[in-house]
Amino acid sequence: MTETLLETRELKKYFPVTKGLIFSRVVAWIRAVDGVDIRIGNGETLGLVGESGCGKTTIAKLIMLIEKPTSGTVFFRGRDVYSLDSQQLKEYRRSIQIVNQDPFSSMNPRLRVNSIISEPLSVVGFQHDKQITRDRIAEVLEQVKLPQGSTSMYPHEFSGGQRQRIAVARALAPSPQCIVLDEPVSALDVSIRAQVMNLLLELQEQLGHSYLLIAHDLAVVKYMSRYVGVMYLGKIVELAESIELYTHPMHPYTRALLNAVLPSHPDIVWAGGKLSGEVPSPINPPSGCRFHPRCSRAEPGCAEMEPALVPVSGNHWVACCRS
Amino acid sequence: MLEVRNLKTYFFTRHGVVKAVDGINFRVGDGENLGLVGESGCGKSVTALSILRLVPSPPGRILEGEILLDGEDILKKSEAMMRKIRGVKISIILQDPLTSLNPAYTIGDQIGEAVEIHQHLRGKLVFRKVVEVLKLVRVPEPEVRAGDYPHQMSGGMRQRVAGAIALSCQPRLLIADEPTTSLDVTIQAQYLDLLKQIQEQSGISIVFVTHDFGIVARMCDHVAVMYAGKIVEFSRVKEIFDNPCHPYTTALLKCLPRLDIASKLVTIEGDVPDLSTLPPGCSFAPRCANRKPICDEKYPEEVMINKNHRVNCWLWSPQ
């Protein structure tokens, strides 16, 4: 394990459910993220998988300081990011960048590519020197393999894959130490996905930044990450090194997810579809272990005690009473 | 049962003619499943809409070709006759149930509408039929859920309702246009299991329009790979996985990450072509690793690899 770059401790985010238009009052809380501890090492990739509504994107928003947590903190190089002064906050915002899912809606259609890429640079203080800014834009465009002539074009002139490259270039521009990838390829065409994934991996090799990869596709996460965390209803249920997790899944939910992946060849007998029911609402999550109503191995005790994420071997952590 | 011959559907727009479907041939047997695989913009959805004659016109128009359903060409039928085929003999499940269901009506009303029109049921019989089809697609507590509005249901349940509408009149052919793209993996698995079971009971044929080879491997008997409006390879499912012949199919199978193989992904360079400005030769040539001079000049003829396997590629051409 390398030195820790980013760490969350007991991170929680509850969103209020309100009733009434004028005298609105809170009637319930959506527990989007409910006590999550993750750590990302220097130059490493942590993948987060889970179904929609499990809180993956909320974690990204908390780390990006788009949302404030209900409780818990994020540490960046050992410092609590919620208590940074304005100068340090600027530096933090530079060090951490995001690539969003949909390259069609994540860019201002009225800006040219050079303005899109130079916008984060202005935060770092490049804006005073036009030549340095121009050089930096040329450099990142080369890194993402886009032609230099694209600087004066608008986003709509590019295809989906090229647009996602612009988004990567924008994230790279201020030389971040960590890039949050929120479903970076799921909006792209199948034949384009490999281009973008390989590009992201090559960039990491060259530049040594870390990734927090958020995706629902288990194969994408396996291909890109060193560590993988599986989320269910706002909690991490299993966390392990990628190879370990995919060869020895311990949590029943992880197993169910892996079983649900479609076969890669018609001869493979598919065990899928074993998991019944749907993800319950995060407003009133089930008591005890949140997975117990759908779990095939549930016991009466599972409804009472909430299992903690405990290490079972080396770097393999599981939150299940039965493992 | 269904046979499509030399189907051409073009869109006439201000920016030129878009050849969305450009001379495709395939057939689907009784109780068989066909997978139409391709990327966005390759014409697979337009093919699906053409079979139902639902292509928006203008700008779209089916220029030529035949669509034979049980030997009868449905392109020659009048619109009134077509209404008796849609929903009764052929029906469709669309990708996103949130946009294909009407938010202002309960799901019971929406399933009931199809039943009233096609089966001429009235009153209590309609409700009984609605409950019956909801049971068929395994919606729990069907009597209660029939009174729900689409927004009150989860994505998986909504897609089941869309399936219920499509199946309510026992069609012989179901077209499933990306039926699981908007669903989570575990829900997708449940939904595909359900379709398989329904098929075993009723013996209907399903055409899966998808970009996911996993669905093809799991559900289909035959597969047609589409690229830029044309079918570039057609074969039995097992064969396409064991012996893909078209360079596009080969690359498509290798460019997706898999759980069982950890090798580096092959990338297909370039981008999906613009259908209004296609090159004169093979449309895949600009991205192809095995490109020859002739590829840029002429579109390759169909080559039969064996009885059930055909490919359009100069690599396999005897010339």
Q: Report pLDDT digits (tens) over A104-123.
A: 888 999 999 989 998 888 87
Q: Which residue has the tokens 């020895």?
A: A248
**DSSP-based three-state secondary structure for B270:** coil
**DSSP-based three-state secondary structure for A189:** coil
pLDDT digits (tens, 9 = 90+) for A57-81: 899 999 999 999 999 999 999 899 9
Q: Across-strand partners of B174?
A: B91, B206
Number of other CB atoms surrounding residue A43 within 10 Å: 18
Architecture field, domain B2-89+171-316? 3-Layer(aba) Sandwich (3.40)
pLDDT above 70: residue A211: yes
Q: Do A258 and B259 touch (CB under 8 A)?
A: yes
Query: How many CB pairs below 8 A link A and B?
Result: 122
Q: Do A198 and B265 touch (CB under 8 A)?
A: yes
State the pLDDT at residue A180. 95
Closest CB to B185 among A51, A265, A270: A51
Q: What is the mean pLDDT of residues A188-212?
A: 91
Q: How far is CA A144 from CA A140, A168, A200, B234, B288, in A?
A: 6, 7, 9, 36, 22
Residues 120-149 of B with CB under 8 A from A: none
Residues of A with Cβ-Cβ distance to B35 under 8 angstroms: none
Question: What is the ipTM, given to two decimal places?
Answer: 0.81
Closest CA of chain A from B184, distance in Å: 6
- pTM of this structure: 0.87
Low-confidence spans in chain B with pLDDT less than 70? 319
Distance of CA B278 to the CA centre of its chain: 23
Pull the structure tokens for residue B31: 């109780």
Cis ω for the linkage preceding B59 (within 30 of 0): yes
Asked if residue A287 lies in contact with residue A302, where contact means CB atoms within 8 angstroms, the answer is no
State the pLDDT at residue A259. 86
Q: Across-strand partners of A73?
A: A9
The reply to whether B269 touches chain A by the CB within 8 Å rule is: yes
Q: What are the structural domain ranges in chain A?
A: 4-310
pLDDT above 70: residue A126: no
Asked if residue B190 lies in contact with residue A276, where contact means CB atoms within 8 angstroms, the answer is yes
| Euclidean distance between CA atoms A254 and A224, whole angstroms | 18
| Euclidean distance between CA atoms B113 and B134, whole angstroms | 14
Between A200 and A277, the higher pLDDT residue = A200
Q: What is the mean pLDDT of residues A148-176?
A: 90
What is the secondary structure of A98-111 as a DSSP string?
A: EE-S-TTTSS-TTS
Q: What are the structural domain ranges in chain B?
A: 2-89+171-316
pLDDT band for position A273 (50/70/90)?
Answer: low
Q: Which fold has domain A4-310?
A: Rossmann fold (3.40.50)
**Average pLDDT of chain A to the nearest whole number:** 88
Q: What is the mean pLDDT of residues A308-312?
A: 89
